[in-house]
Amino acid sequence: MPSFHYKAARADGSVVSGTLESISSDTANRDLRNQGLVVLSIKADIGDRSDISGKVKFGPNQVLSFTSELAVLLRAGLPIDRALKVLIDMSATPGLRGVIEGLLKTVKGGKGLSQALQDQPDYFDDFYVNMVRSGEASGNLAGVLARLAAQLERSKQVRSSVISALIYPAILAVIAVISVLVMLGFVVPQFEALFEDMGEALPLLTQWVIAGGEAIKNYGWLLVLLVAGFIWALRRWLRQPRGKQWLDKTVLKLPILGAVTFKYEIARFSRTMGTLQASGVSVLKSLNIAVSTVGNGVVRGALESLSPEVKRGGRMSHALAEAKMFSPMMIQMVRVGEESGRLDEMLLELARVYDDEVSNGVKRSLTLLEPILILGMGGMIGFIIVAILMGILSVNDLAA
């Protein structure tokens, strides 16, 4: 478990310092306050591979590894405390080991695994906790963990495929910007001496390129500051409710990206709710948790209308149809699931269909984006070269 160095004051005003083992800096702070101490400073031990905030590194990959390995150990017949001890011994990083040690401590205290997970919301969300709670209630914790691991693995694959597909276009875009800046900032200024006596006799395109080169050469640092400031201000605004709402609406209106984003969010919602339903979680709780996983505010707002309808005893399919935002296929699949009592299967099938459509949509988008970036980069560089050649030809005409 990670160690934290602290300085604290007692009630009599004396200052004490020492080392405390805890899951995170917040937990260590709380433990010290429970001892009647006023915390003055607390820092993670450098040897404990913690991040700046003092929280151990326990991301989605570690959660997936923990879930799948725990499922295997429980299927082998090990009790939960013994399985957690084995995972502690298997842990390769202090972060993973520290989190599991915290879980084991809570379980040994007489609480269930779901309660132990609920005490660590930084690493395990409501979806995860409710899945485990349903497994404990049904007596099939190993099976639920295996299903949960499959869900996490599928989400990881979709996320990884999208990120991998975007790497090449991102590299092309960066190369295009750097190429244009190099041409304007270093290549174009080499021709200034040749054109300086031409004045207004230079072609208009050449004048524009020369002016651009001068601006990059003399005020490049200011341009960098302005761009950085704009990006900082934009990101800050997009974190605000109004900015986030504007971004969510704008993304959905884009020609191809909008449809891909919408299907990605619906796939995430359907997969989460289908998995919870298959594990025995109530419809209303599954619905609330699944809606909270949707990232786009517009889609999330439309799905939030489902909960009041279900509370009134109505059907999800009816609320989906009234929202007038969802495809007939989604409405019909949910309706079939409700009528046949196989809502979980229909939702998981819907998630699979939309996952495939998201992957195909990303591939189609990149098929169009890559040549556009290449042509755009070539066009900008070609524009600069043509402008310089026009200037050189003008010089030759005047010399003749």
pLDDT digits (tens, 9 = 90+) for 148-190: 888 888 778 877 877 777 788 888 888 888 888 888 878 787 7
* Domain edges within the chain: 3-48, 60-154, 158-400
Q: Please give the average per-residue pLDDT across 370-398, as a whole number.
A: 81
Class of domain 60-154: mainly alpha
Same fold, 3-48 and 158-400: no
Model pLDDT for residues 273-308, shown as the tens digit of each residue: 888 888 788 888 888 888 888 888 899 888 988 888
- Stretch 14-23: mean pLDDT: 71
The mean per-residue pLDDT over the stretch 112-130 comes to 84
Looking at residue 333, what is its pLDDT? 92
Buried b (16+ CB within 10 A) or exposed e, 169-205: eeebeeebeeebeebbbeebeebeeebeebeeebbeb
Mean pLDDT value across the chain: 81
Binned at pLDDT 50, 70 and 90, residue 65 comes out as confident
Question: Looking at residue 165, what is its pLDDT?
Answer: 75
Contact assessment for residue 351 and residue 278, using Cβ atoms and an 8 Å cutoff: no
Average pLDDT over residues 348-368: 85
| Answer CATH for 158-400 from 2.60.120.560, 1.10.150.120, 1.10.10.60, 1.20.81.30 | 1.20.81.30
pLDDT tier at 209, thresholds 50, 70, 90: confident
Give the pLDDT of residue 48.
43
Evaluate if residue 362 carries a pLDDT over 90. no
- The answer to whether the pTM exceeds 0.85 is no
**Looking at residue 397, what is its pLDDT?**
63
Residue 332 confidence (pLDDT): 92
User: Which whole number is the average pLDDT over 89-111?
Assistant: 81
Decide if pLDDT at 378 tops 70: yes
Q: Which of 45, 51, 40 is nearest to 5 (CA)?
A: 45
CB 28 within 8 A of CB 20: yes
Share of the chain above pLDDT 90, in %: 6
Range with top average pLDDT, 92-96, 136-140, 168-172, 351-355: 351-355
Q: What CATH number does the domain located at 3-48 have? A: 3.10.20
Q: Quickly list DSSP for 98-164.
A: HHHHHHHHHHHTT--HHHHHHT-TTTS-HHHHHHHHHHHHHT-HHHHHHHHHHHHHHHHHHHHHHHH
